[in-house]
């Protein structure tokens, strides 16, 4: 826990924050020697007592003070341990990437040997390991590793502070950095052709005139690093960091490996991935299939959601336009189905989300994803889809299935051996006639389903608050009015938001409170506007940024939107835990 660092925004493990000392530094940032004082390695002192004394001398520093540290090889424990020391100002501690020990409390942790983390396996294990051992509101500094090409990946891993050491040193060796990688200045273009350098910065113009000089390479390298930092900050701000990293890691196989290894650290990513994003979700590459949003959506559809009791299941393909219902193809399907829509349940098959029940088409990211469409389903996509479909059908049973699918998708479902009436799919007149006929046949003697609007609320309640939430929230007589549901006395319980979330009223939260889920327990006070992390006594571990939460304390009861994960609320000393929408005092 720290009072000198505050995380303001999160996009997966990447964060934006501010360091609250010296002149405020906005993170992610490139820092330099001007921003901190460091006692350096203990081996640079004549005796261990001298090293301890140099730490003591930093006690009242206003700047970030990095205490004396014991260097060690990458995979070994340091030979000595330094006694802990409390400072009045911001404290920095060197932490060894693969040490088994938990580091003492600090505001900034310096990743030891970070410049030596060349192997992607080491890099991912080091950052993930250290991040999991330090407080979420402490900053992590990795010296001498950043380049314009790897900066996005480093920030996405969870590093807050970097520096220009590496590109500066590279400049001394004649190396020229861009976002696309590093070249020997001499090799990049012929010496007679320096005007063709792929950059138009002041230094590169000078190189064209005066030839390659170390100071010009250094100035160019540092500028490219700063530009990349601004790009990364913009990506976090616009909540498109994952998309940017998936693109940027293509510059080298090592970086792509690192992203894939990070995706293997599912728990680390899941605990840091928000429930919703403002941005569109692009599933452009094979790594996109591993994204937390994809696995989370599928887990919820299979684990939390329960399909309405229906005799007939209709399988449909997705559409480019979202939500699907607004697309031309889905409007045509709806016309072809006509009044039989009340006698069947619709499930949309899509990549990479696999299954989207009609009622959840507005939930994140079902309403805001985009994927390159070729009509071809590769083996990985097919396996993922069928795995999900089989799990779904084990839980939700139907007497008859109609599959209005075509091409690869139809073939995939046919090959799985699922028994269904296959219509061949399509939106032409004869295709829609076949859909119409198949549905008419399947719906003969079928049960009538409840109103689709009501089913949407049921599905959303279970999807966001867990299995059984719908039976509590929608107990008794429910009136559906526009985007809102009310109880029998016309008291609002919940509404769906344009972003596909559910927003609870105090009455709705009162009903759900009994389940004990998504609750933020607060101390003995009545918060207004924003609930700050120090006020949180306890919080449900499954809360993620963007989740609707119930705020409960001795003097207050309310609802709001989480700004950080539940585990982070408990472990942080600064920052907004949740934005409050409604709150009332309790006697």
> Residues in the site for Zn ion, rule: CB under 5 A?
199, 201, 204, 220
Residues in the chain: 587
Min CB(199)–Zn ion separation in Å:
3
How near is the Cβ of 290 to Zn ion at its closest, in Å?
36
State the nearest-atom distance from the C-beta of 203 to Zn ion, in Å. Answer: 5
Render 52-87 in DSSP notation, one character per residue.
Answer: HHHHHTTTT-SSEEEPPB----TTS--S--PPP---
CB of 231 vs Zn ion, minimal distance in Å: 16
Smallest separation (angstroms) from Zn ion to the CB of 204: 3
Spatial separation of the C-alpha atoms in residues 149 and 168, rounded to whole Å? 14
**Residue placing its CB nearer to Zn ion in the complex, 16 or 225:** 225
The least CB distance from residue 226 to Zn ion, in Å, is 12
Tokens of 163: 């520096």
Q: Of the two residues 206 and 447, which places its CB atom closer to Zn ion in the complex? A: 206
Q: Which run of H or of E encompasses 162?
A: strand 161-162
Tokens 């404290």 — which residue?
91
Give the nearer residue to Zn ion in terms of CB position, either 199 or 371. Answer: 199
Q: Are the beta carbons of 107 and 572 closer than 8 angstroms?
A: no
Q: CB 352 → Zn ion: shortest distance, Å?
A: 38
What are the backbone angles phi and psi of residue 18, rounded to the nearest 5°? -140, 140
Q: How far is the CB of 205 from Zn ion (least distance, A)?
A: 8
Residue (127 or 251) nearer to Zn ion, CB: 251
Q: From CA 30, how far away is CA 49, in angstroms rounded?
A: 33
Residue 137 near residue 27 (C-beta atoms within 8 A): no
Q: Is the dihedral of CA 504, 364, 13, 8 positive or negative?
A: negative
Alpha-carbon dihedral sign for residues 263, 264, 265, 270: positive
The token pair at 170 is 């590279």
Q: How far is the CB of 207 from Zn ion (least distance, A)?
A: 8
Q: How far is the CB of 283 from Zn ion (least distance, A)?
A: 34
| Cα–Cα dist 254/40, whole Å | 31
Contact in structure between 559 and 506 (CB atoms under 8 Å)? yes
Tell me how far apart the 2 most distant CA atoms of the chain are, in Å: 91
**Distance separating alpha carbons of residues 502 and 492, to the nearest angstrom:** 13
> Which residues, listed in sequence order, are joined to residue 10 by a DSSP beta bridge?
15
Return the number of the residue (199 or 452) whose C-beta is nearest Zn ion: 199
In the complex with Zn ion, the residue whose CB is nearer, 15 or 220, is 220
Does residue 95 contact residue 68 with C-beta atoms inside 8 Å?
Answer: no
* Of 226 and 408, CB closest to Zn ion: 226
Nearer to Zn ion, 220 or 277 (CB): 220
Q: At what angle do helices 214-237 and 202-210 cross, to 10 degrees?
A: 160
Of 207 and 356, which CB lies nearer to Zn ion in the complex structure?
207
Of 201 and 478, which has the nearer Cβ to Zn ion?
201
State the DSSP H helix or E strand holding residue 583, giving kind and residue range, or none if neither: strand 576-585
């Amino acid at each position: 826990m720290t009072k000198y660092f505050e995380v303001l925004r999160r996009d997966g493990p990447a964060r934006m924050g501010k360091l609250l000392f010296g002149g405020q530094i906005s993170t992610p940032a490139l820092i330099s020697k001007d921003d901190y004082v460091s006692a350096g390695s203990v081996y640079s002192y004549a005796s261990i007592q001298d090293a301890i004394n140099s730490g003591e001398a930093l006690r009242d520093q206003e700047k970030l003070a990095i205490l004396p540290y014991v260097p060690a090889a990458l995979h070994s424990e340091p030979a000595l341990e330094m006694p802990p020391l409390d400072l009045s100002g911001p404290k920095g501690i060197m932490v060894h990437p693969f040490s088994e020990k938990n580091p003492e409390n600090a505001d900034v942790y310096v990743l030891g040997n970070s410049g030596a983390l060349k192997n992607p396996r080491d890099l991912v294990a080091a950052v993930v390991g250290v991040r999991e051992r330090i407080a979420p509101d402490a900053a992590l500094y990795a010296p001498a590793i950043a380049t314009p090409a790897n900066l996005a990946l480093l920030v996405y891993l969870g590093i807050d502070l970097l520096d220009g050491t590496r590109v500066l040193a590279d400049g001394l060796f004649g190396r020229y950095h861009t976002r696309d990688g590093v070249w020997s200045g001499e090799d990049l273009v012929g010496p007679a052709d320096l005007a063709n350098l792929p950059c138009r910065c002041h230094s590169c113009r000078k190189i064209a005139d005066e030839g390659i000089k170390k100071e010009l390479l250094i100035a160019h390298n540092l500028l490219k690093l700063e530009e990349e930092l601004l790009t990364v900050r913009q990506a976090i701000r616009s909540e498109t960091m994952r998309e940017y990293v998936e693109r940027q890691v293509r510059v080298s196989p090592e970086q792509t490996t690192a992203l894939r290894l990070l995706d293997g650290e599912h728990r680390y990513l899941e605990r840091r991935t928000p429930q919703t994003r403002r941005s569109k979700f692009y599933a452009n590459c094979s790594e996109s299939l591993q994204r937390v949003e994809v696995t989370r959506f599928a887990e919820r559809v299979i684990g939390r959601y329960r399909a309405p009791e229906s005799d007939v299941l209709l399988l449909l393909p997705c559409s480019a336009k979202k939500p699907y219902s607004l697309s031309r193809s889905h409007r045509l399907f709806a016309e072809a189905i006509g009044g039989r829509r009340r006698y069947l349940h619709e499930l949309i098959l899509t990549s990479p989300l696999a299954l989207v029940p009609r009622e959840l088409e507005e939930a994140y990211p079902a309403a805001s994803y985009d994927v390159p469409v070729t009509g071809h389903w590769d083996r990985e996509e097919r396996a993922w889809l069928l795995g999900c479909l089989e799990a779904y059908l084990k839980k939700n049973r139907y007497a008859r299935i109609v599959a209005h699918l075509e091409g690869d998708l139809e073939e995939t479902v046919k090959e799985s051996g699922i028994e269904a009436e296959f219509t061949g799919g399509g939106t032409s007149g004869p295709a829609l006639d076949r859909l119409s006929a198949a549905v008419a046949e399947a719906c003969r003697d079928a049960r009538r389903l409840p109103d689709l609007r009501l089913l949407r609320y049921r599905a959303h309640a279970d999807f966001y608050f867990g299995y059984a939430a719908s039976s509590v929230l929608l107990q008794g007589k429910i009136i559906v009015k526009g985007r809102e549901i009310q109880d029998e006395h016309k008291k609002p319980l919940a509404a769906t938001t344009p972003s596909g979330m559910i927003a609870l009223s105090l009455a709705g939260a009162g009903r759900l409170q009994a389940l004990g889920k998504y609750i933020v327990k607060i101390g003995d006070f009545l918060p207004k506007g924003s609930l700050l992390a120090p006020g949180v006594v306890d919080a449900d571990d499954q809360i993620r940024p963007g989740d609707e939460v119930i705020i409960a304390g001795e003097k207050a009861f309310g609802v709001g939107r989480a700004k950080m994960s539940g585990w982070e609320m408990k472990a942080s000393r600064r920052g907004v835990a949740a934005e409050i929408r409604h709150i009332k005092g309790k006697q």
